Amino acid sequence: MFKLIIRFGLLLILFYTVPTTSAQSPGEDDEFGPVVRAYLGYLRNEQNVVDDRASRHEVSRGYYVKNSNRIRALRQMAIQIARDSHNDYLPELEAVAADEFGTLFEQPPRSNALRVGQVVQTTFRYLGSVRVGDVFHVFARLDPYEQAEMREKGTGQVEVPASPTSIPSGVRVSTRSRRVGEPK
């Protein structure tokens, strides 16, 4: 009974300290617009979920470390994109290690053959790699209009130089103008 009380007390302490230690202080994301702040908040929530699952021993240490590092890689890339573009827009981002390419691609490309800005299988644009523990390759999912344009061209892997927005450390991302009547 005494051990149960101690465990419960430790869980309460962990529950109340983990969110405050992993959360950012108010105002830290003030340089960004509401869309980017929402995405960064989403990543904080994802980290809290991973932390909670690890505290309840639901996941292995390896799973915890890899997913925490993935979240950090996504955060770094999102901040780079937002700061460099000065735009309150982020594409849908995916961060995968080289051994996880099969989760995104039917025919996984070789990680050493990827070039920044390259469109892979008409679905993703390669943004670059981020080393956070492991090396994570970050991709932006193309919107449906861009995917249709790639299919019309009949090619799945092309270098797309059209109006790229420069990202620090050599990463390049292109954005398109919003079409008339397209939802925001």
* Per-residue pLDDT at 91: 93
Which residue matches tokens 């079409």? 179
Residue 122's domain spans which residues? 2-174
Task: Identify the helix (H) or strand (E) that includes residue 155.
Answer: none
User: Is residue 113 included in any domain, yes or no?
Assistant: yes
User: Is residue 51 included in any domain, yes or no?
Assistant: yes
Instruction: Give yes or no for a contact between 133 and 71, defined as CB atoms under 8 angstroms apart.
Output: no
User: Is residue 84 included in any domain, yes or no?
Assistant: yes
Neighbouring CB atoms inside 10 A of 48's CB total 14
Contacts of residue 118, Cβ cutoff 8 Å, sequence gap at least 6: 125, 126, 157, 158, 159, 160
User: Is residue 11 included in any domain, yes or no?
Assistant: yes
How many structural domains is the chain composed of?
1
Mean pLDDT, the chain, whole residue set: 76
Each residue of 74-122: pLDDT tens digit?
A: 999 999 999 999 989 999 999 999 989 988 888 888 888 889 988 888 8
User: Is residue 183 included in any domain, yes or no?
Assistant: no
User: Is residue 179 included in any domain, yes or no?
Assistant: no
pLDDT at 69 over 90: yes
Distance CA 184, CA 178 (A): 8
* Per-residue pLDDT at 1: 53
